[in-house]
A and B are shown apart, each in its own frame.
Chain A
């Protein structure tokens, strides 16, 4: 049996979180003590059998008392909102130099792919000191990617690519949990995140067979699934060029404008008739049932890299 109550603190977010958490615990203890004392002292002093004078009652019943504790509560509510939201705003965007991991969730396992293409199941090795962005996709129901030691969590929702990022600080092995109920074996949809010093991580990578990165798989699919027939630069079919497309605002045929994010590109492959780009005929074939699970994500990853190349990265 283990009496320790603090989870390991292994990421930059964990430090910020714990500071916030214990501040709020301290505040709560003060409030609980205050309310507890009020009730206890009043109950004791004004129990029926004591003879203390009750004359002062009328003077207490004043607006001032109420205004005081309404204002005090409002102050603390706004203060804690400000305090916590600054912390959360700091963590919204991953740093631009983050390593990109792709994680695919399905009932009931986690499949991870390193930036180098190395693949793992229910495991993930990361180096310390480098921000890591995890791209999350689900093949079936909603799962949730949770590493308590990093204090991060993100739902993995089918049909969209979610991202979460962290920067590990302490080498060690930490549990990974699924925290969105996903059926029979939800409780054993767990894994391990191993944090290593950068040198050890590099050595570990070398022992692994080099895999294909997700974007490389996408590049291969781009030809083999026939996308390049229309979308390649040299094609004479009038189809939108994909270089530099990702992240741009796209005007649509019906006058709306959408951002070409992962969800849009995914929909463009699986539901092409829905959001047709302005100036193009709706001739894109529907790939639902033709592409397998994971292949769409590979294509999206490839199209993302096309945009990054456009920026010269």
Chain B
């Protein structure tokens, strides 16, 4: 049954990659690992499309006049960028790829609770994505990703209905995934894996799934209302018929603020796994971290009004939303400080995924602090809908979430493919991404303070300097994003064997082969200790033994 390859590596049963080589075996698979890979492929495809749109936006904004594309094209470009990046990249990024691949492995299960539903959700996501893409190819959508009424319902002559339907359908895919995760965590945990022994990555996915299941229907309602308004002229948002355009904003942000946490919470989980592994430390304050995640997920539902301070909502309502938005900073700050404290007394090494994770903390801190500016009413009055807001949410979404996504991708790449990538190139890309990101988006804070509105195709000359800097930074960022495609791609063919546990990490997913067999584990693991047991509570942490790529199977004792 076992065979030994040239490097003396003992292969177990055929791994999940070797379990079938036909296209059919991929498209009809119910293996959560293969579905994770399917998601990864579509996700990277959408990431490239959204990134290309961003490139054109920054090119246009390199000079003050609108001289590269027409105003209508520009409006379609930023809408495309927003719609694709939010719903077809950021929302599914970590849950659907890394989450799908790792959740059953991390809880010692053989698959998701509903493997077929899992496959179905990929197809639903694909249909939604293709509809949105069709809207783009037919001529585009020009409403912005926020679809504000009455512009989207009565005035826009673009393919709003098609794009809204695409997002509507994709919503069901995330709901199905969320439901699957919740049930899986409840029912599929292996023996001994109590709730308070769950890795924070699992906690984060669990909380994210809760938010997904509760919030996404609001998005579906908002979009369905826009579509019905366009098709049947219902008048829900039309003041001439007694409707209220602001109603849309309430429903939309009731989804879209929690959606921020749908995007960032999984990142919290990833970063915790990476930080503990490369500092060889138990996570600082495990329980506080769990409650911070749950607190953020809950409070996230009550702050949507901070998007509407200048919409004409009551000044007192604005103050309540402002207070709640300030309070949500507390659990976020707990996380940042606990991550920093996790480093204390560790034996820290700086692999690429660690660099991404450290970068995440810095960028998330800056994004969070600028969130406080926007949570305070008088400052938001000036900053609302300027580049300050653009910069703020890119720090959270791109600086935070995309960094976390890459941290996780690099961390688990050996597990997913069984191969090591070039550590040197990976570290280079991580540093370049951090620099390029700040270079691109920090100037936008300044532009926002100076008063440059967002979604402007052309702009007055006084904003030129900072826009040029931002566009220059975007070039660096684009290169940094393309680098992993090359070295990760190459590693699949030429990379060294990773071994089961190249980082000597303590998660259950590292106790099986890399890549894992179809059934994930031989005998299912039995958990007897708390997570992150890089050292006993009463012991000092010790340095990792052996080299980074030490393929030592006996190192992972079965618990």
Q: Are chains A and B native binding partners rather than an unrelated pairing?
A: yes
8 Å CB contact of A35 from B347, B365, B543: B365
Q: Which residues of A contact B386 (CB under 8 A)?
A: 179
**Contact A74:B330 (CB < 8 A) given known A159-B239, A288-B240:** yes
A63 CB, min distance to chain B CBs, angstroms: 8
Closest residue on chain B to residue A289 by CB atoms: B240
**Contact A7:B450 (CB < 8 A) given known A1-B464, A43-B358, A48-B349:** yes
Chain A contacts with B in 87-123, Cβ cutoff 8 A: 87-89, 91-92, 107
A78 CA to B322 CA, complexed, in Å: 10
Q: Which residues of B contact A55 (CB under 8 A)?
A: 540
Determine whether the beta carbon of B544 is less than 8 Å from that of A48. yes
Quick check: is B224 within 8 A (CB to CB) of the other chain?
no
Determine whether the beta carbon of A188 is less than 8 Å from that of B315. no
B495 CB, min distance to chain A CBs, angstroms: 24
Contact pattern, B 441-472, Cβ under 8 Å of A = 1, otherwise 0? 00000100111011111111110111000000
Determine whether the beta carbon of A157 is less than 8 Å from that of B71. no
Determine whether the beta carbon of B537 is less than 8 Å from that of A58. yes
**Contact A140:B72 (CB < 8 A) given known A3-B465, A39-B340, A81-B322:** no
Closest residue on chain B to residue A3 by CB atoms: B465
Determine whether the beta carbon of A39 is less than 8 Å from that of B361. yes
Closest residue on chain A to residue B155 by CB atoms: A141
Q: Which residues of A contact B71 (CB under 8 A)?
A: 184-188
Per the CB 8 Å criterion, the residue count for chain A at the interface is 88
A91 CA to B381 CA, complexed, in Å: 11
Closest residue on chain A to residue B456 by CB atoms: A187
Quick check: is B344 within 8 A (CB to CB) of the other chain?
yes
Determine whether the beta carbon of A186 is less than 8 Å from that of B456. yes
Determine whether the beta carbon of A155 is less than 8 Å from that of B319. no
Stretch at the interface among A17-25, A127-135, A215-223, A247-255: A17-25
Closest residue on chain B to residue A2 by CB atoms: B462
Determine whether the beta carbon of B334 is less than 8 Å from that of A88. no
Contact pattern, A 1-14, Cβ under 8 Å of B = 1, otherwise 0? 11111110000010
Closest residue on chain A to residue B75 by CB atoms: A184
Determine whether the beta carbon of A39 is less than 8 Å from that of B385. no
Stretch at the interface among A144-152, A201-209, A227-235: A144-152
Determine whether the beta carbon of B326 is less than 8 Å from that of A80. yes
Q: Which residues of B contact A141 (CB under 8 A)?
A: 150-151, 154-155
Contact pattern, A 32-65, Cβ under 8 Å of B = 1, otherwise 0? 1001101100110011100001111110110001
Q: Which residues of B contact A81 (CB under 8 A)?
A: 322-323, 326, 375-376
**Contact A154:B455 (CB < 8 A) given known A7-B449, A39-B343, A179-B384:** no
Quick check: is A160 within 8 A (CB to CB) of the other chain?
yes
A310 CB, min distance to chain B CBs, angstroms: 26
Determine whether the beta carbon of A46 is less than 8 Å from that of B348. yes
8 Å CB contact of B148 from A38, A65, A87, A181: A181
A312 CB, min distance to chain B CBs, angstroms: 28
Quick check: is B100 within 8 A (CB to CB) of the other chain?
no
Q: Which residues of A contact B449 (CB under 8 A)?
A: 5-7, 21
A65 CA to B282 CA, complexed, in Å: 16
A16 CA to B279 CA, complexed, in Å: 46
Closest residue on chain B to residue A92 by CB atoms: B315
Closest residue on chain A to residue B535 by CB atoms: A57
A144 CA to B143 CA, complexed, in Å: 16
Please report whether the interface of chain B is mostly helix, strand, loop or mixed according to DSSP: helix
B545 CB, min distance to chain A CBs, angstroms: 11
Q: Which residues of B contact A42 (CB under 8 A)?
A: 340, 343-344, 346, 348
**Contact A179:B334 (CB < 8 A) given known A88-B378, A153-B381:** no
A160 CA to B238 CA, complexed, in Å: 12
**Contact A146:B285 (CB < 8 A) given known A84-B376, A89-B315:** no
B323 CB, min distance to chain A CBs, angstroms: 5
Quick check: is B551 within 8 A (CB to CB) of the other chain?
no
A2 CB, min distance to chain B CBs, angstroms: 5
Q: Which residues of B contact A20 (CB under 8 A)?
A: 376, 378-379
Determine whether the beta carbon of B376 is less than 8 Å from that of A16. no
Determine whether the beta carbon of B453 is less than 8 Å from that of A177. yes
B468 CB, min distance to chain A CBs, angstroms: 8
Determine whether the beta carbon of B310 is less than 8 Å from that of A181. no
Closest residue on chain B to residue A21 by CB atoms: B379
Per the CB 8 Å criterion, the residue count for chain B at the interface is 95
Q: Which residues of B contact A58 (CB under 8 A)?
A: 537-538, 540
A66 CA to B454 CA, complexed, in Å: 39
Chain A contacts with B in 236-274, Cβ cutoff 8 A: 267, 270-271, 274
A287 CA to B379 CA, complexed, in Å: 41
A179 CA to B454 CA, complexed, in Å: 7
Q: Which of A6, A53, A88 has the most CB of B within 10 A?
A: A88
Quick check: is A180 within 8 A (CB to CB) of the other chain?
yes
Determine whether the beta carbon of B148 is less than 8 Å from that of A142. yes
**Contact A73:B329 (CB < 8 A) given known A39-B362, A56-B345:** yes
A107 CA to B157 CA, complexed, in Å: 14
Stretch at the interface among B198-206, B366-374, B402-410: B366-374
Determine whether the beta carbon of B242 is less than 8 Å from that of A267. yes
Q: Which residues of B contact A146 (CB under 8 A)?
A: 385, 451, 453
Quick check: is A175 within 8 A (CB to CB) of the other chain?
yes
Q: Which residues of B contact A142 (CB under 8 A)?
A: 148, 150-151, 245
A155 CB, min distance to chain B CBs, angstroms: 5
Determine whether the beta carbon of A183 is less than 8 Å from that of B155. yes
Closest residue on chain A to residue B292 by CB atoms: A70
8 Å CB contact of B156 from A5, A24, A36, A183: A183
**Contact A157:B311 (CB < 8 A) given known A2-B462, A179-B384, A188-B458:** yes
A141 CB, min distance to chain B CBs, angstroms: 4
Determine whether the beta carbon of A35 is less than 8 Å from that of B345. no
A69 CA to B281 CA, complexed, in Å: 21
B479 CB, min distance to chain A CBs, angstroms: 25
A100 CB, min distance to chain B CBs, angstroms: 18
Quick check: is A162 within 8 A (CB to CB) of the other chain?
yes
Quick check: is B525 within 8 A (CB to CB) of the other chain?
no
Quick check: is B288 within 8 A (CB to CB) of the other chain?
yes
B365 CB, min distance to chain A CBs, angstroms: 5
Q: Which residues of A contact B319 (CB under 8 A)?
A: 85, 88-89
Interface residues of B (CB under 8 A from A): 66, 71-72, 75, 142-144, 148, 150-151, 154-156, 239-240, 242-246, 279, 281-282, 284-285, 288, 310-312, 315, 318-319, 322-323, 326-327, 329-330, 333-334, 336-338, 340-341, 343-350, 358, 361-362, 365-366, 369-370, 372-373, 375-379, 381-382, 384-386, 446, 449-451, 453-462, 464-466, 537-538, 540-541, 543-544
A-B contact pairs, 27 of them (CB 8 A): A2-B461, A17-B378, A24-B379, A36-B362, A38-B341, A39-B340, A39-B361, A46-B346, A66-B334, A70-B330, A73-B329, A77-B330, A81-B322, A84-B376, A89-B315, A140-B150, A142-B150, A155-B311, A157-B311, A158-B245, A159-B245, A160-B312, A175-B460, A179-B386, A179-B454, A183-B156, A186-B75
Other than A70-B330, A185-B71, give 15 A-B pairs with Cβ distance below 8 A: A1-B465, A54-B345, A58-B538, A74-B330, A77-B327, A80-B326, A81-B326, A84-B377, A84-B379, A88-B378, A140-B150, A159-B240, A179-B385, A181-B454, A187-B455
Complex A-B, nearest 4 residue pairs according to Cβ-Cβ distance, in ascending order: A159-B239, A148-B451, A84-B376, A57-B345
